Every structure is written in C-alpha cells, then in structure tokens.
Structure 1
C-alpha cells in the first residue's frame, strides 16, 4: 500500500517533494495535492514542483497526474495512460489523480478524523460516502464522463430548461487559471511562479470544499445513522405497514440512511412520510415530509393530497379535517402541524387518499 511505501521515501536534503504537471491545472491534481499536504503527515511540509520534465519528476517522492505511470508502490498516480482503467471499488467511473490519491490514502484521512482503525466499519462507510458524494464527480469531470447518457437523453428528446452556468467543482477550479488574454510575465521563471501561485489558490479552494465534506460526513452524517436506524426500527408503531418514520426529538440527515436501510429489507413496504419537530423543544411545531423517489429527486413517492396544497392555518384545518394545520407546500412535498398528534393524523390520512 502507498501508506506503507511512503515511509520509504527518499529525502532531498530533508524535504519531501510532490510533483505534478505545470500549465493549465485541473481540480483533480489540485485536490490530490491538497489531501496529501493537509492530511498525510509524511507530506505535511512537502515541497511542490510543477513540471513535465521526466528527469525532475523522477526525483520527486510522489507524483500525481503526470508521468504516465500508476504504481502505488512507487507513489506514482497518473491516469492518462492509454491502458489505464482503474475505478474505485464497486464504482464504474474511471479514476483521476484525485480518485487515485483518495483510494489509497482516503482511509487514513477518515481514520485520523474519526480516531478509529482504518479497517473499521465506520471508516469504511465514510470513506466510500465521500468518494461517491464528492471525489467521483471530479474523476468524471477530468475524464470527460457525463452524469447522464447523452445518447439516451437525445433519444428521449430531453433538453435543459435553463443554463446552470456550468458551475461544477471542476469549473470552480478551472476558472482560477489565467484568462486567454491576461498579460503574463515575460520571464519564464516569473511566469511559472505566477502560475504556481494560481495553482496554490485553486488547491486551497477545492480543499476547503473537501474539508467541509469530511467534517459533515464524520461529524453529522455518520452519527445520524443510529438515529435513523432507531426510527426505522420503530416505524410500525405508527403504521402497520411501516410507511411512517418518526424522529421523536429532532430531525437528522435521513435520506441516505433510510434508502440504505430499505435496501436491506427489499420485501418491506417503502417509507412514505417522515415526521420530525422543527426544533428540539417541547412546544415545537411538526413537519410531515414526503420521501422522494430518489435522494436527489423532487418527485415524492406520495405527495400530500392535492386538495391540501397551498393552504394554511384555519383554511387547511377546514379542508383536511385535522386541527392545528400550519401549511402544506404548493407542490405537496412537505407540510406542517402545531403538534405531533396533528402531523401524525395528516400522514395517516394522506396515506388513505
């Protein structure tokens, strides 16, 4: 493993050297460099050299995104070779330098944050989740892989309804490169120094986003797993078929965990509504949220009744026949009631309609 081979790195006058390419930079090597320097002690004080000179790269202790070689034993992590086809375990997207570095060093990063062994279940869960939620998008972007099958979209006649500005993680880094008409220093050394300064800014910027993901999935997402599992286990207390999930004290990030738990019981009826208090106090109002057909979908498995949508307070009470109504969103994906009993009544009645 690269983690072990890192201990055998050759030192250049006491300095460890990370090598990557110069010229136009991308999100994958910017993040790869950041992860190594921020989270792996061996590289915390590493010098960065950006070059395409094979002789200089040969002297680097670790090389990412350049050099035409993937060999973890030698700390070489390029993905541009014609024969390269490596993917993250159980995923289909070909890796970039970000994915390669994360695949080999990510467990160590998560392990240090959780203070748990690298082979623990919790470390494995977060390691995989961060890849799927963050790193994989960079791998796809750098390898020119679309999130959707373009031929399938064309065949279905589907087109974008509006421009999203092309703002992706990769684009965020890409815009930090010089513009085509920027005036650059004439001296090659000065020009390279200016380019390296831009790269350092890009590496820090994409790294900050990675930090936020790491913080979220270790400090919030992972602890939510137990909360969701407890609510899922108690789901038949509120509906014989288990279609209503209740978080008694406060809500937690539930979608990922709920879908995972459902997958473990494929024969069970799918959850339809999730109930939770707006805040963890005794007088809190309650929400009734519909479970989406998929995590990122705006389509609900069963929206709240059409007749309730867009109404509030007394009007909603009169239409639904349930006192304490606060609102139902115009799209029917969420509603509210002043009490838990009222929210539960809304969910049960909605199941019947």
Structure 2
C-alpha cells in the first residue's frame, strides 16, 4: 500500500514539474460543484493551462497554487476553497444558500470571468448585475445540490401533504455528473497510475459538460438578457399609451426576454400595478402576426396572473373571431396563456377585452 502511494505521489510530482501552475481537487467520486469550479478557473488566464492534480494527499495539495473542494480550508488569501468544514457557513451576498466549491470559486472569480466576457472592468455595473443573475439562475442550484439543500422546506411539504407526481432527480446537472463516475462493477486498470488516469479522464468529461452549461447561461445573460433590459424599460415606461391602467406591455419592434426585467421593474415600482398581458410581433416585418401572452405569476410558474378568457381557449381562426367579436383571430392556447391575431390592433383589442372579462 505504501509503495503504491509513493508511486502515485512520485508520478504527480513529475506532472507538476511540467507545469508551474496547478489546480488541486480530490480524487475518487466526483461531483458537479468541483467539476464546475475547475472549469471556471480554467477560463481565467492564470489557470488556462494549469495542471489538474486530483488527490487527497495533503502534501501534494500544498504544492498546488489553488485547491478546491478538498483540504479542509477556506482562505481566499492563499487560494484554498473547501466547504466541508463543520464551521463553514459562507453564502453568496444576498442569498441564503451555503456555498459549495462552485459557489466559492464563482464568488471570488466570477466577476473576472464576466468582465472578460463583456470586455469591461470588474467594477462595471453590468458586471455586478450579471454576477448576481448568473449565481441566482445557475450556480446556486449547484451549491444547494451539493450541500443537500431542498428547493422547498421538507417539513412544510410534509405538513401540506404534497407528493411528487413523478421523479425528476435524474434530470439535474448533479445527476448528469454522477452518471459519469465509474460504476462499482466497471473494470479498472490494475496499475494505480493508469486507474487514476482513467478516473481523471471521466472527471474532465464532467468538467467540460458542466462548463458548457455554465457558458450557455453566461452567454445568454450577457448577449441576450442584458441587451433586452433597456428595451423592456422603454416598453414599461410607455405602457399607459396602450392601456390607461398600465396593464398591457407592448414590444413594438420585436420580442425580447422580458420576464426577469418586468418583475424587477414592478418590484421597484410598488403600487404601480401589475402588467397582465404582453404583446409582441412574431417577426420583424410590417406584416407580422402578433402574439398576446399572459404574464405568469412568477418567472418559473405555469400559472398566469389572468389567463385569456376560458371561452376563447382552444379556439382558432374564424371561430375565434365569432367568440371574441374581434376580427383577425389566429388562436388561443387551450391553457389560456397565449394567443394570436393577424394585426397589432387585433391583439390589442383582445388584451383590452380580456381585461374586462
């Protein structure tokens, strides 16, 4: 056993000599948080070409320039980012969820990553906005999953007598990473160095997949969500031009990601009333058909604040015109959350009538 450990330590030491920068994390069963943490670090110039050392040997970890998810130390001044200590209770600013190694790395290096993406300084307002948004939208769930924190209070769920209608655990990113680990009965090389190399290769696949999802989220918020903010703000300011109560929001040029921005605006404008329907063209052409969409009660809900009238639901074309009394009807979804009309005037008339019913 000692000979095997010395052999692996010597092999790791030789690897370190080929790279002056190294990232350390634990070997064995890997998880989504350290897989993502390693990927995020590699987005930074300092660690782009860093050697990855997966071990629990503290002597080897001491040789690494940065260590995540192992070592029993959280100290940013020496680049140690473990969260398994009994006393660890660090959370992201303004959020309640205890951090994992992913959250720790993101909290300390996320602004640098975002600044690179936007081509701005780390103290730019846009960087701060995206830093918070990506944490809430993506990283926090990874932290919660690794720390065994449920989305809902288990006691509250039990008291309400609620049960899941189906199993959804296998659809999470954490489950995806777990499936990439070797199975208990998979064959493994007898040589410990080769066995560790095979395990490391699987970890690299997991890290890449987590990183791809992170980058998709980051690119959405920097390239689509952020540019949409000004458009939503303009439409929100003009909403009384179309509806005296301000309950109809119109995007005259094109549809953009609006839900997050709308909820933020409403929270900042307390007492101004809630938007009920959003109108937007299907295409950026003068002859485009128009959609009317009911605003959900929150971003992740299928429930609308005020669905389109029940009598309209599941009805199309001429029959829809007859039911609504408004020409140009295209359809209304059976669930009442969205509908369409051939013209803007028709869609606006549908919104006004739906508000009255």
Please report the TM-score for the alignment, with normalisation by the length of structure 2: 0.94
Following superposition, which runs of at least 4 residues in structure 1 exceed 3 angstroms of deviation? 11-14
Which of the residues 49, 73, 79 maps onto 2:77? 73
The residue number in structure 2 matching 1:108 is 112
With 11-20 and 27-36 compared, the bigger mean Cα shift is at 11-20
Which of the residues 151, 154, 159 maps onto 2:158? 154
Distance in 2 (CA, whole Å) between partners of 1:257 and 1:117 is 23
Which of the residues 141, 146, 149 maps onto 1:137? 141
How much has 1:123 moved relative to structure 2?
0.5
Distance in 2 (CA, whole Å) between partners of 1:295 and 1:31 is 25
Which of the residues 307, 311, 329 maps onto 1:307? 311
Distance in 1 (CA, whole Å) between partners of 2:166 and 2:87 is 38
The residue number in structure 2 matching 1:214 is 218
Distance in 1 (CA, whole Å) between partners of 2:297 and 2:329 is 25
Q: How does 1:83-102 map to 2 (within 5 A)?
A: 83-102=87-106
Which of the residues 162, 167, 171 maps onto 2:175? 171
**1:341/1:59 CA distance change after superposition, 3 Å:** same
Distance in 2 (CA, whole Å) between partners of 1:185 and 1:108 is 40
The residue number in structure 1 matching 2:62 is 58
Distance in 2 (CA, whole Å) between partners of 1:160 and 1:323 is 43
2:218 is paired with a residue of what secondary structure? helix
The residue number in structure 1 matching 2:8 is none
Q: Is 1:15 the equivalent of 2:20?
A: yes
2:272 is paired with a residue of what secondary structure? coil
| RMSD of aligned residue pairs (Cα, Å) | 1.0
2:180 is paired with a residue of what secondary structure? coil
Distance in 2 (CA, whole Å) between partners of 1:220 and 1:341 is 28
How much has 1:13 moved relative to structure 2?
6.5
Which of the residues 16, 19, 27 maps onto 2:32? 27
CA contact (8 A) 2:19 2:51 kept: no
With 165-174 and 101-110 compared, the bigger mean Cα shift is at 165-174
Q: How does 1:31-42 map to 2 (within 5 A)?
A: 31-37=36-42, 39-42=43-46
Which of the residues 241, 245, 265 maps onto 2:249? 245
The residue number in structure 2 matching 1:328 is 332
Distance in 2 (CA, whole Å) between partners of 1:174 and 1:303 is 40
Size of the aligned set, in residue pairs, is 342
Structure 1: gaps of 5 or more residues? 1-10
How much has 1:151 moved relative to structure 2?
1.1
1:330 is paired with a residue of what secondary structure? coil
Distance in 2 (CA, whole Å) between partners of 1:57 and 1:161 is 45
How much has 1:340 moved relative to structure 2?
0.2
Which of the residues 110, 127, 131 maps onto 1:127? 131
